[in-house]
Structure 1
Amino acid sequence: MRLSSGLDLTVVRHGQSTANVAFAAAEAANRPGTGLVGRDRDIPLSPLGETQAGAVGRRLAGLPARRRPEVVICSPYRRARQTWRFAAAAADAAGVRLPPPLVDDRLRDRGMGELELLTRTAIEVRFPAEAARWRETDELRYRPPGGESLLDVGVRLAPLLAELRTSHAGRRLLLVAHDAVVIMLRHLIERLSLDELRAVVAAGPVANASFTSWTTVDGDDIPVLVEYDVVDHLRADPL
């Protein structure tokens, strides 16, 4: 996948969600239930996630105008759209107007199908055969019933990157999305081998409200990774 010369791309993972909190609490207690109801796409930010999103906006507001995003595209999931809303509000309070977001369904989180919003412990209890299949399958290729593998996520992102190459060439672009999207964009943009991609996955999830960026250098039209999973703004933010 080649992006046109001059296209600078940044991806922000959404802030901490209520599901992130519920999953962590359930896993720490080794219990299957999270108390979550409804659909994954409707999960909102936690109070901390709202604060993290504000820090994202203040980081962007602190950039020189020539480095701020010109186009913003969000996942349709509630937590991603909320992240940009809180970020834009924080930037606006700092005197900087950020672009209104576009929404693209291809930036949605990895579909987990019948396993949506279930912890690994819950899957072991309710679907032991499926849990065993997951353990025995390459992590990049495991596709839950009715869901997607990580490689499937890459397949749906590839046409989006091709469109960005033509429709937003030469513009600073920011996406607000999810862990799986950030990881698979690295695979596509940097042309990571499957072994290299497995190493990225094994290193752990992308942090909430983190920045990952690619840019072109010296006229080369293949972007290079500038930063990955950066959260310095969360530690430095005065609020």
Structure 2
Amino acid sequence: MEAPAKLQNCYWILRHGLSKPNEAGLIVSSVDNGVMPEHGLADAGKEQAKQAGRTLRNALVAEKVDVRTLSIFASPFSRTQETAAIAAAELAQDGEGPESPSIQEAIELRERYFGPDFELRSHEKYPEIWAMDAKDPSVGPTGGESVLDVAARLQALVRKVESQTSGRHVLFVSHGDTLQILQALLSGAFLSQSLLAGSVETVVLKALSTHRTFALGTGELRRLAIAPNESDA
């Protein structure tokens, strides 16, 4: 497939609000653990999700975008599903009716799996993983995902969304490492204009090693500068 000069949709990203694992300082990265209700949002995280929804609503209304047309994709983890639902409910408060945007579960947006040696361990272990990433993003923790692994599934998701719609606003609700990697992926891909056709390995390997520079706080909403009709500046 020939790669377009730029993507055809406007993408927003939202990291889940402060979660109970965040409060406990625990790494919860497997799907089996991540979908458990006890690993959902803390009260402060629910408030962060509400604020993110309000911020996005205001931005879309200012651009005269019907918030009900927003496409929302969320990781299956309980903390991201809760964040997406709360944000979507806030989006519905724009005076245009009670409908809120629907939420589609996207397994590609799941948390990066850090492997059995790190699962349910302290957050203090993260620097060990990120040091590995900076050295070689194609090598991950034992039994876990590398940065390159995550980038490949994110590339597949973007390809799918781009093939199904254009000219839309799209929100991805996901996790810290996953969204860092997504931003690094898009940054590298736009330099080469080959996200939708080229090999991740040859296109963005160097960019992926710097994914930590794209870190988001819990509940942080960010717009990716890849909307149709936007300038390249």
TM-score, normalisation: structure 1: 0.71
Q: Hey, what's the Cα distance between the residues in 2 that align with 1:179 and 1:70? A: 22
The alpha-carbon deviation at position 122 of structure 1 amounts to: 7.0
Offset from partner CA, 1:57-91 (integer Å, 9 cap, x none): 21123231427452111111111110011112233
- Report whether the alignment pairs 1:107 with 2:104: no
How large is the Cα RMSD of the aligned pairs?
3.3
User: Which blocks of at least 5 consecutive residues in structure 2 are unaligned?
Assistant: 190-203
- Report whether the alignment pairs 1:143 with 2:140: yes
Q: Hey, what's the Cα distance between the residues in 2 that align with 1:88 and 1:134? A: 32
1:162 corresponds, among 146, 159, 165, to: 159
Structure 1 segments, 4+ long, off by >6 Å, are none
1:208 corresponds, among 209, 218, 227, to: 218
Report the 3-state secondary structure (helix = DSSP H, G, I; strand = E; otherwise coil) of the residue aligned with 2:65: helix
- Cα gap change, 1:4/1:134 in structure 2, threshold over 3 Å: closer, same or farther? closer
Residue equivalent to 1:82: 82
1:198 corresponds, among 202, 205, 209, to: 209
**8 Å CA contact 1:40, 1:116 repeated in 2:** no
What is the number of equivalent residue pairs in this alignment? 203
For 1:61, give the aligned amino acid: R
- Report whether the alignment pairs 1:41 with 2:35: yes
**8 Å CA contact 2:148, 2:205 repeated in 1:** no
The alpha-carbon deviation at position 40 of structure 1 amounts to: 2.9
Residue equivalent to 2:181: 184
For 2:222, give the aligned amino acid: T
**8 Å CA contact 2:92, 2:101 repeated in 1:** no
The alpha-carbon deviation at position 218 of structure 1 amounts to: 4.1
Report the 3-state secondary structure (helix = DSSP H, G, I; strand = E; otherwise coil) of the residue aligned with 2:76: coil
TM-score, normalisation: structure 2: 0.73
Paired-residue identity, %: 25
- Report whether the alignment pairs 1:175 with 2:184: no
Q: Hey, what's the Cα distance between the residues in 2 that align with 1:87 and 1:121? A: 30
**8 Å CA contact 1:16, 1:52 repeated in 2:** yes
Q: Hey, what's the Cα distance between the residues in 1 that align with 2:103 and 2:178? A: 17
**8 Å CA contact 1:3, 1:164 repeated in 2:** no
Residue equivalent to 2:47: 51
